[in-house]
Structure 1
């Protein structure tokens, strides 16, 4: 499993001002948006802006993604035609309700990589799970394409598909979060929790991020730069967790492969605990 992204910041693709502000944001990834934040009349110009941005934007260790319009919008092909250029790390595909959607997007990307001389498979995919149908197929979706890198929960669209309201405690997302986290882990993929619309309420963002992490999601999608530091903090191991992991790995490795279970700080540690400690340190 790849090291998960702790934070991905949405950047409206039609706004030079927001793109400029994103230059100094320390998100693990930026997602230049052509979908929800861009009005229909601005779609074409946004494509050109994002394509130009990808060619000159200072990645500075961050991954650069694009969220295009959904396949059923009729705009996906033109979006990919515009933005599959050097500098693009991945496509964050919305409305990934079934395997066929991922397969078709994969075909488009394979063709564009070939005709533009890009390394085959270099443009990765991340699938937005945004409906009850998408969640029902999430295990199959997670294995739909070798270029699939992760899955994200689209909280607002998902709850709309269920006909329920978002609540402050997030109970309506508990099943979706756990199922997406499990499906992603089983397939060796990363996973992102969905956004929090009230970007001023950092306490709410933190509480929901903690819930997401507790069930195995690896990071959070952010809609405002002010949320990024909170996401990075929640989804990074704490000093105490790192110290525990170092003790576990040190003692377990010193005991040798034939030791079986050993005691560390008064608790029994066997190979699954050792592997969990290794995974934590890899983050």
Structure 2
């Protein structure tokens, strides 16, 4: 299996042509070209065309290009999705996914448009219904029209609005929903990216929330400003000490004399073969990051 780093996912307003151009040189893993929340109502059509032109032009290098559309129940959603199907970025980010049928509906439309199966669906998890049906949503990967689903993105601002939960340091009111979605994602081998931190001038608070997300098991952080890139990349990257430890575990279990062993003691710690599998993922992510850094 090939692992793709998704440490940083930067929202870029589709209506801002200068930002779309600048995106090609930012040190982020994912570019979220936005047609929804960050675009004013009277700029929706213009933003769609600018994003289409940007995706067609390419030049984004290793960066994963994802377009967030407006909901299919809005006046712009269907045109957004049709445009995405034509230009085929890496994925389409669907807002306010409430149930598995929302995934199926997008999948059917992409299939009808002849979009390649490489065009994936990412689901915004930002509604009370989405929290209650998180497992149903991720289980949609088992059905034909849901197989495009590959990643969940937490929409903590909308979730706070819809539930009236307070946005507090430490995110205690959010924690049950964050962990529910993380478990649902992992049950079907999907990635999941943490929600945004709104105070982009608060470096200390941002670092703390990134660290919390990383400790929870999130794959990365959605961000809203370039000044958040360095910290998110650093915190969601394996440390040199972690990489060294993982390689030691892999080497121990790969040694011919240990092929029949499922448990060993390494540096005073009991280590199971499952830890070797976890270690391989860390090393592959580290290798992918190193490869990106060379570009």
TM-score range (shorter-chain normalised) is over 0.9
After superposition, the CA RMSD in angstroms is 1.4
Matched with 1:97 is 98
Match for 1:279 among 281, 284, 287? 281
In structure 2, list runs of 5 or more residues that go unmatched: 141-145, 286-295
1:190-229 per-position Cα deviation (integer Å, ceiling 9, x unaligned): 1100011111112211111111111111111111111122
**Mapped partners of 1:110, 1:122: distance in 2:** 11
1:3–1:190 CA contact under 8 A, matched in 2: no
1:194–1:221 CA contact under 8 A, matched in 2: yes
**Mapped partners of 2:107, 2:160: distance in 1:** 27
- TM-score (ref. length: structure 2): 0.90
| Count of residues in Structure 1 that have an aligned counterpart in Structure 2 | 278
2:31–2:66 CA contact under 8 A, matched in 1: yes
1:145-203 per-position Cα deviation (integer Å, ceiling 9, x unaligned): 10001101100111222212201221122112211111111101111000111111122
Matched with 1:204 is 205
The 5 Å alignment of 1:1-283 reads 2-86=3-87, 88-112=89-113, 114=114, 118-119=115-116, 121-144=117-140, 145-254=146-255, 255-283=257-285
**Mapped partners of 2:163, 2:43: distance in 1:** 30
Q: 1:173 to 1:214 in 2, by over 3 A?
A: same
1:234-279 per-position Cα deviation (integer Å, ceiling 9, x unaligned): 1111111101101111112214221231111111111122222112
2:124–2:152 CA contact under 8 A, matched in 1: yes
- TM-score (ref. length: structure 1): 0.94
Deviation at 1:4, TM superposition (A): 4.5
1:181–1:191 CA contact under 8 A, matched in 2: yes
SS at match of 1:192: strand
1:82-116 per-position Cα deviation (integer Å, ceiling 9, x unaligned): 2323451110111001111111111111122x2xx
In structure 1, list runs of 5 or more residues that go unmatched: none
**Mapped partners of 1:9, 1:260: distance in 2:** 41
1:4–1:190 CA contact under 8 A, matched in 2: no
1:109-131 per-position Cα deviation (integer Å, ceiling 9, x unaligned): 1122x2xxx53x12101000001
